[in-house]
Structure 1
C-alpha cells in the first residue's frame, strides 16, 4: 500500500526486490546491458557479482513490463541512478545507505514492525518453498551457486524452472494484494 506513494525509482527497486528476491545491491548497481528483456533473463557478469562468477536469472512478467517501461525514459547505462541524475557524467547508482532507507520509509508510513531489504530475500525464499518450489530452484533464483558435488557436476541454471516459480510467486502476490503488480 505504501509503494504508490514512493518515487518511481524507489518503486522500481522495491518491486524488483519483492518479485525476484535479489539482493538490493544487484538491482541498485544493475546495468541495462545485463538484461535480455525478450528472453526475460538478466545476467550479472562475474566482475560485478559477489562470488566472482556470473549468474543468470529469470525475470517474472511484471518485472519485464516494469523494466521495459522504465527503459523507455532511461538515459543512463544503469537501471537506477542517483535521485538528482544530471546526465551521462553523473551515471552512477544510488548509494546503499540511501536505498536501505526505503524499508524505513515504508515502515513509518504503514506502522509495520521493523524489517530490512534483505528480509525480503528471506521472505521470497521461504514463501516459494511453501508454495512448493524445489530447493535447488529457490537457490538459483536467489543467485546462489550450488554446493558440493552439484557445484562441480551440475552447471544447469534451471531457467525454465525459475520462470515457472517466479510466475507462481507473482500470481500469489497479486492474489494477496488484489490487483496486478504492474
Structure 2
C-alpha cells in the first residue's frame, strides 16, 4: 500500500486483517506508511490492534523496524507518534543508537535477573496503577519511554547522577525545560518507590537541580475574551463547542476534550468528572450554565453526534477530539488574539470571576483547586449554591463580552474566508492550465 497521510479518522477507518488473506502472511498484519513523517508506520493486526512503528536502513543496508514504546493507537495520537518517530530516528542516525539491541538488552537483563530501568518501570506500573490516576501513570510511562528510551536496558542500580544531569541539560539545550523538569520529577518518583520497597538502595535523582519553568500568567482582557468566544462560536463541531465549553466551565483542556455523555445528567445541568480524569484524583461536579447546556443540547440533538460514540466531542466516532494546535490557529486568526494558551483561559476564568465579585475560595472550588494549609485540611464545604451562581454570572459576562466583539470577528472571518477562496480558485486555475499545456522542453543551443 502506498504511503498515506495518517490521521485519527483514517486510523479509525482501518479494519482488522483477514487471517485467511494470502497477502497477510504467517502472522496476519499489514503496515501502512505515513506520507508526512518518513519512517513512521502503523501496523494493523488481525484483531484490529493498531501500533506505531519506525523503519530505517541500517549501515549494512538492511531495513530495520521496531515498535514505538507505548505506541498503541488511540492511546498514542498520530501527532505524538510523529514526534516519537523523530526522536527515535534522530537517535539512530546522530548518536548511533540501536533500539533493537537495547530491546534485547532489556529482555536479556530481565531473563538474567538484572533489574533494568525498563523492568523497574513495568513493575511500578503493574503494582501502582490501581492506586494512582491513570493520567499520572501514563505521563510517567510516556516521559521515560520517550526521553529515557536509550536507558531502559540499563541496570537500574547502575544509573548515575552524571547521566541524569547530562540528559536534563540536553533537553534544556533543546528548549525543553518543562520536559526536563518532568523527567527529573517522574524519575525521582520511580526510584523513590524502588528504594521504599527495597528494590534499590539509592535514588540518584535526589538533589539533581530541576530547571525553573516560568508560570503562565496571561489573563485575557474582556475584549480578548469576547473575541475568542465569538471566534469559537463560528467554528464547526467539535472545535467550536470545545473552546466555548472550556471558557464557560473553567476546566482543563483534556477534561473538556475527553468529556463523555455518561458523565452528564439527563437535563444537562451537571457534569460529573470522575476522579481518574481529574488532576487531584477526586470526583468533581461542574454546574452547567444555560449557554453550556444549549451547546451540549445542540450536539446531543443535532446531526453532529455520532451514533454509539461515548464522547461528546469526537471527529472519529470512537475517540476523543484532538488537534488542539490547529484549532487554536484558526481561533487566533479569526479573533485577532495572539500569545495565549488554552490553559490561559482557566487563569482568565479564575481572575475575572473574582473581579466580578465571586469569593476567591468559591472560584478555587469551581476550578477544583486543592486548598492549601489548614483550609485544605479542615475546610470540606463544597459551596454548591455559590458555585452555581458564580458560573451563571460568568457565562452572562462571557456572552456579553462576545456580543460586543461579534461584528468585528465576523467581518474578519469573512475576509479570511474570501482570501482562502480566492487563493484556492487561483490554484485550481493554474492547475487546469498546466494540464492543458504540453510540457515544452527546449534543446540547448549548439554552436556551429
TM-score over 0.5 for the alignment?
Answer: yes
Structure of larger gyration radius: 2
By relative contact order (CA 8 Å, sep 6+), the higher-ranking structure is: 1
**Aligned with 1:94 (options 305, 310, 321):** 321
Q: Kindly indicate whether the alpha-carbon contact (under 8 Å) linking 1:16 and 1:63 is maintained by their aligned counterparts in 2.
A: yes
CA distance in 2: counterparts of 1:100 and 1:19, whole angstroms: 20
CA distance in 2: counterparts of 1:67 and 1:14, whole angstroms: 13
CA distance in 1: counterparts of 2:300 and 2:381, whole angstroms: 30
Indicate how the Cα distance of structure 1 residues 43 and 4 shifts in structure 2: closer, same or farther if over 3 A, else same.
closer
After TM superposition, give the deviation of residue 149 of structure 1 in Å: 2.5
**Aligned with 1:12 (options 226, 241, 253):** 241
**Aligned residue for 1:35?**
264
SS state at 2:340 partner: coil
- After superposition, residues 5-154 of structure 1 pair within 5 angstroms as 5-38=234-267, 40-73=269-302, 74=305, 75=307, 76-81=309-314, 83=315, 85=316, 87=317, 91-95=318-322, 98-154=323-379
SS state at 2:272 partner: strand
SS state at 2:238 partner: helix
Unaligned 5+ segments in structure 2 are 1-229, 405-448
After TM superposition, give the deviation of residue 132 of structure 1 in Å: 0.7
TM-score, length of structure 1 as denominator length: 0.84
CA distance in 2: counterparts of 1:171 and 1:53, whole angstroms: 28
Aligned residues: 172
SS state at 2:311 partner: coil
Q: Kindly indicate whether the alpha-carbon contact (under 8 Å) linking 2:249 and 2:286 is maintained by their aligned counterparts in 1.
A: no
Indicate how the Cα distance of structure 1 residues 70 and 33 shifts in structure 2: closer, same or farther if over 3 A, else same.
same
SS state at 2:285 partner: strand
Q: Deviations over 1:19-67 (max 9, x none)?
A: 1111111111111111125372211111222222111121111101211
- After superposition, residues 150-165 of structure 1 pair within 5 angstroms as 150-165=375-390
Residue 3, structure 1, aligned to residue 232, structure 2: yes
CA distance in 2: counterparts of 1:2 and 1:37, whole angstroms: 29
SS state at 1:36 partner: coil
Indicate how the Cα distance of structure 1 residues 171 and 149 shifts in structure 2: closer, same or farther if over 3 A, else same.
same
Indicate how the Cα distance of structure 1 residues 39 and 66 shifts in structure 2: closer, same or farther if over 3 A, else same.
closer
After TM superposition, give the deviation of residue 157 of structure 1 in Å: 2.0
After TM superposition, give the deviation of residue 168 of structure 1 in Å: 1.0
Unaligned 5+ segments in structure 1 are none
Q: Kindly indicate whether the alpha-carbon contact (under 8 Å) linking 2:252 and 2:343 is maintained by their aligned counterparts in 1.
A: yes
SS state at 1:8 partner: coil
Q: Deviations over 1:6-31 (max 9, x none)?
A: 11211110110111111111111111
Q: Kindly indicate whether the alpha-carbon contact (under 8 Å) linking 1:21 and 1:141 is maintained by their aligned counterparts in 2.
A: yes
After TM superposition, give the deviation of residue 113 of structure 1 in Å: 2.4
Q: CA RMSD in A?
A: 2.1
**Aligned residue for 2:403?**
178
CA distance in 1: counterparts of 2:385 and 2:241, whole angstroms: 24
After TM superposition, give the deviation of residue 158 of structure 1 in Å: 1.5
Q: Kindly indicate whether the alpha-carbon contact (under 8 Å) linking 1:31 and 1:79 is maintained by their aligned counterparts in 2.
A: yes
After TM superposition, give the deviation of residue 150 of structure 1 in Å: 2.6
Q: Kindly indicate whether the alpha-carbon contact (under 8 Å) linking 1:37 and 1:68 is maintained by their aligned counterparts in 2.
A: no
Q: Kindly indicate whether the alpha-carbon contact (under 8 Å) linking 2:238 and 2:321 is maintained by their aligned counterparts in 1.
A: no
Q: Kindly indicate whether the alpha-carbon contact (under 8 Å) linking 1:2 and 1:110 is maintained by their aligned counterparts in 2.
A: yes
